[in-house]
């Protein structure tokens, strides 16, 4: 099953939401391809179009896993990976918005627990 590419409209939703969070021109998402097990029972991975961006020491991935189906996560390292807890979204706006909100909350908590000098 081939996953359809991200449309220009989908890419613009992602970039606009990023711009609202950090300001226009500060962070730019780039198109990438990721390999995902679409179901836990799958033995094989499926190539999926995705958008990738970084802000400070955090990296973000938002992948299209089907027509109007999306998954997302942010991570700091291989061991520090986080998702919203929702396996798959059917609304791209919700997917990117909840991802950015969760990461902002996580960053706030992280700074409380490990303040910088």
pLDDT one-digit tens code per residue, 18-44: 999 999 999 999 999 999 998 888 889
pTM summary value: 0.89
Tell me the per-residue pLDDT of 81-91, one tens digit each, with 9 for 90 and over: 998 899 999 99
Question: Nearest-CA neighbor of 92 among 55, 64, 117?
Answer: 64
Q: What is the mean pLDDT of residues 108-113?
A: 74
Beta strands in 1-115 (DSSP E): 30-36, 46-55, 58-66, 69-75, 81-82
Mapped onto helix, strand or coil, the DSSP state of residue 74 is strand
Q: H or E segment at 17? A: helix 8-22
């Amino acid at each position: 099953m081939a996953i359809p590419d991200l449309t220009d409209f989908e890419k613009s939703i992602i970039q606009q939401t990023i711009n609202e969070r950090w300001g226009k021109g500060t962070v730019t998402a780039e198109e990438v391809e990721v390999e995902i097990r679409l179901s836990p029972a799958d033995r094989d991975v499926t190539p999926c179009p995705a958008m990738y961006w970084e802000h400070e020491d955090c990296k973000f991935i938002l992948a299209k896993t089907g027509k109007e189906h999306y998954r997302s996560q942010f991570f700091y390292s291989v061991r520090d990976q986080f998702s919203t807890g929702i396996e798959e979204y059917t609304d791209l706006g919700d997917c990117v918005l909840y991802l950015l909100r969760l990461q902002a909350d996580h960053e706030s908590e992280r700074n409380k627990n490990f303040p910088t000098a």
